[in-house]
């Protein structure tokens, strides 16, 4: 069980908020205010790509929220009181946090796909030069597995634009045509032993 605690003053009175959650074995988030015997409990957000969640509650008539932002296998946690972070003293913009998380997830996916693309391309080349055959479908898709992640790493805003419908049809049609041509070129080059 992971625990986090914040102490702060409201209207001259000291308050304490405790957060308890388990990353793997429990789906509950427990928030205890001033050592209360009846904590506030929430069912934790279980979305596969959770981008950040606010869990609201009240302290002495003030609106508070625990903000949990996933970060690999842990969470970044912050306490918001009346719209202001207790840690930083600034407001917590959930939309900005979600945009940042989308970029991070997109870049991690791009890195993984790039490694898979390089491995598939190398394996196909290795088969051709050692056993005399290769997989045409792998040869066709290898340029896409390599170049789409590189494009995503160079232009990470493209990941965010997809979520807001700002995708240019002409731009993506052009990119798809280029990748199709590269796929056919790679198949042709491998099939004719040109590399």
Q: What is the pLDDT along the chain (195 residues), one digit of tens a residue?
A: 788 899 988 888 999 999 988 776 667 888 899 888 778 887 766 665 667 888 898 888 899 999 888 776 677 889 999 988 988 888 888 888 877 787 788 888 889 999 999 999 999 999 998 998 999 999 999 998 998 888 888 887 776 676 667 777 787 788 889 989 999 999 999 888 777
Quick count: other Cβ atoms within 10 Å of Cβ 88?
Answer: 9
End-to-end alpha-carbon separation of the chain, Å? 55
| Local structure of residue 44 (DSSP, 8 states) | P
Tokens read off for 41? 């409990």
CATH class of 2-92: mainly beta
Query: pTM of the entire structure?
Result: 0.65
Between CA 126 and CA 136 the distance in angstroms is: 14
**Domain limits, CATH 2.40.128.180, in the chain:** 2-92
Counting beta carbons within 10 angstroms of the beta carbon of residue 96, is it exposed (0 to 12), middle (13 to 18) or buried (19 or more)?
A: exposed
pLDDT in tens, 50-72: 678 888 988 888 999 998 887 76
């Amino acid at each position: 069980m992971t625990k986090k605690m914040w102490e702060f003053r409201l209207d001259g009175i000291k308050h304490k908020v405790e957060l308890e959650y388990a990353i793997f074995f429990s789906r509950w988030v427990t928030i205890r205010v001033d050592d209360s015997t009846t904590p506030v409990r929430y069912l934790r957000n279980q979305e596969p790509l959770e981008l950040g969640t606010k869990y609201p509650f009240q302290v002495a008539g003030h609106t508070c929220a625990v903000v949990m932002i996933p970060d690999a296998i842990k969470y970044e946690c912050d306490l918001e009181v009346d719209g202001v972070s207790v840690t930083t003293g600034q407001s917590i913009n959930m939309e900005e946090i979600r945009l940042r998380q989308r970029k991070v997830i997109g870049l991690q996916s791009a890195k993984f796909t790039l490694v898979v693309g390089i491995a598939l391309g190398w394996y196909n080349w290795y088969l051709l030069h050692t056993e005399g055959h290769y997989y045409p479908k792998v040869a066709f898709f290898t340029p896409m597995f390599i170049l789409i992640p590189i494009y995503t790493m160079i232009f990470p805003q493209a990941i965010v634009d997809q979520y807001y419908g700002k995708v240019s049809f002409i731009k993506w049609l052009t990119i798809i045509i280029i990748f199709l041509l590269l796929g056919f070129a790679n198949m042709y080059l491998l099939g004719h032993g040109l590399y």
